[in-house]
Every structure is written in C-alpha cells, then in structure tokens.
C-alpha cells in the first residue's frame, strides 16, 4: 500500500521560498506521476504541478513559473518549491499520485500540511 506524507515548515515569510517534501512509502518514487495540489481556506482544489520521475513535468501557468517540482530517487521523495510567496499562498498543501498513468485519477493522497505565509 502506497502512503504519502508531506513535511515542511508551517510558517513562511512573505517573499521567501516555500519548500515541502512528500515522502513515499510502500512504493517507489521511480514510478507513477507525482502531483502537488493546494486548498486555500474555504476554497476548492488548485493544481500546482506534476512530475514523472523520468523528467517530464508540468506546472500551473497561472503561478507564473514560481513552482518547481523535483524527484529524489535516493530518498524516495518528491518536493515542491514555490518562490516569492504572499499571503495568497496560505493553504493546505497536498501531495498525490496517479499510479495508473497521467490521465487516470489521483488515487493516493497525503494527509496534507498547512502552510501559513505571514511575517
């Protein structure tokens, strides 16, 4: 059973870079598609980006290239970096996986981690 666990600072200052890690257990990060999604308080889900371990990647154009997703096969983790954060980036951040391919649904989710952007 594949399990995902997000980790990272819960508080980030405005203009700094948000960094989160998703640790994969019960499976290998050298498979599947790995995605980051967030949910602002009281709002819907927002796609941030995804990556396949062999290098193909995509990120939400509305975030104006602030997002970088990477995979670390040695640690069985994948990561999210978001630069120049503002209060609008305060949200619960989820990592998720599509084990049956990019166009299948995201069938494994982490529990989510809350990130607050504030000075």
Partner 1 sequence: QSVLTQPPSVSGAPGQRVTISCTGSSSNIGAGYDVHWYQQLPGTAPKLLISGSTNRPSGVPDRFSGSKSGTSASLAITGLQAEDEADYHCQSFDSSLNYVFGTGTKVTVL
Residues at the contact surface with partner 1, assessed by CB under 8 A = 35, 37, 43-47, 50, 58, 60-62, 94, 100, 102-107, 109-112
Kindly report the number of other CB atoms within 10 A of residue 49's CB atom: 18
Separation of CA 109 from chain center:
10
The CB-of-85 to partner 1 minimum distance in angstroms stands at 17
Q: Which CB sits closer to partner 1, 31 or 63? A: 63
The CB-of-17 to partner 1 minimum distance in angstroms stands at 22
The CB-of-107 to partner 1 minimum distance in angstroms stands at 5
Q: Which CB sits closer to partner 1, 103 or 118? A: 103
Residues 6+ apart with CB under 8 A from 102: 33, 50, 52
Three-state DSSP at 65 gives coil
Three-state DSSP at 89 gives helix
Q: Which CB sits closer to partner 1, 19 or 57? A: 57
């Amino acid at each position: 059973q594949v399990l995902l666990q997000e980790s990272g600072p819960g508080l980030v200052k405005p203009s700094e870079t948000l960094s989160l890690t998703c640790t994969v257990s019960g499976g290998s990060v050298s498979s599947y598609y790995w995605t980051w999604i967030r949910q602002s308080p009281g709002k819907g889900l927002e796609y941030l980006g995804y990556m396949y371990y062999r290098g193909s990647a995509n990120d939400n154009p509305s975030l104006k290239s602030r997002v970088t997703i990477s995979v670390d096969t040695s640690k069985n983790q994948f990561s999210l970096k978001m630069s120049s954060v503002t209060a609008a980036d305060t949200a619960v951040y989820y990592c998720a996986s599509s084990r049956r391919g990019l166009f299948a649904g995201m069938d494994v989710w982490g529990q989510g981690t809350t990130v607050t952007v504030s000075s």
